[in-house]
Amino acid sequence: MCTSLTLETKNGQHLLGRTMDFAIEFNQSINIIPRNYGWTNIIDKQERKTKYAFIGMSVIIDGHPILADGLNEKGLMCATLYLPGFAEYSKIEVKDKENITSYDFVLWALSQFENLDEVKIALKDLEIIDKPLSLLNLTPPLHWILSDKSGKSIVVERTATGLHVFDNPVGVMTNSPDFQWHLTNLRQYIAVRSKQFDPITWGDLDLSAFSQGSGTFGLPGDFTPSSRFVRATYLKNNLTHIDNEIEGINGIFHILSNCQIPKGAVVTSEGSEDITIYTSAMCSESGTYYYNTYDNCQISAIKLFNEELDSIHIKSYPIRNEQTIFREN
């Protein structure tokens, strides 16, 4: 369970944010992968070299970065989210195509493409192979949201009918069902609005709202993917005062706070608790990665361009999980 959205500020900066909702953590950290870093494709065992440097939340396994989200030096941003029951990958390698695992998609995209147009072209020659991830002992059922300095967004899904690329007119994505279903479902909520409803009269009885917020009556408040999609889309569409990067980052964190899951609110069929492990946001233009965690609400920021991008080593920043409180006295 995760929620993601894009945002454009009035001064032309482009952001992508997401929550990471899961029942377990993987000792993840924020890592900067430099240019020309060698990584091995798990499917064909061939070494690849990163063309661009990038930063993101990831786990490093034997020098191989597994990324949940991130952005590269050209401003391409990508996040991976769960798509259980709908994601389906090829059981065999496909000749004359580049074959990768689902959990290498973010690495594949950020390491070699500048923008969405380049990604779209490359996707025509890509296949995603069913290969279990050792951390989970299963093949994670994923789909992806990408954005760049244009402010546009796409969603990539691999289902039983093949690999699909959708232009994302609302810049929001959650989990199952598939992306097209979520867009259709928005039609049920066209009456939801930010403006208060005016008083009316039924017979001889004058009726008025109890207090402010009557226009949002019917906005779903549960944690299902469909409800989080509607809620995030509504809040993004009505967000004001996002003149610059910091105001945009604040806006994203406020929107996503409406989708964050506290401990005990969602219990899986296996008895574990899904929680929002972290929330992150990134800026295409500044190359800055922002995040906070369940246990530390303070937003931390790491700027890609403050590091040596031609280094031969991955640079890691451990997660700041201890709550930061400003004590006035």
Which residues are CB-contacts of 150 (< 8 A; sequence separation ≥ 6)? 14, 115, 116
Instruction: From the candidates 2, 78, 259, 283, give the one annotated as an active-site residue.
Output: 2
d(CA 196, CA 213): 6
Q: What are phi and psi of 186, to 5 degrees?
A: -60, -25
Q: Please tell me whether the peptide bond between 84 and the residue prior to it is cis, using omega within 30 degrees of 0.
A: no
d(CA 163, CA 105): 13
- Cα distances (Å, whole numbers) of residue 281 to 180, 182, 235: 24, 22, 16
Q: Considering only CA atoms, which of 327, 297, 280 is closest in space to residue 31?
A: 280
Q: Taking the alpha carbons of 119, 95, 101, 173 in that order, is the dihedral positive or negative?
A: positive
Buried b (16+ CB within 10 A) or exposed e, 283-312: bbebbbbbbbbbebeebbebebeebebeee
2 catalytic residue (yes or no): yes
- Is 76 exposed, middle or buried (CB count within 10 Å of its CB: 0-12, 13-18, 19+)? buried
User: What torsion, rounded to 10 degrees, do the Cα atoms 195, 19, 133, 87 define?
Assistant: 0
Active site residues: 2
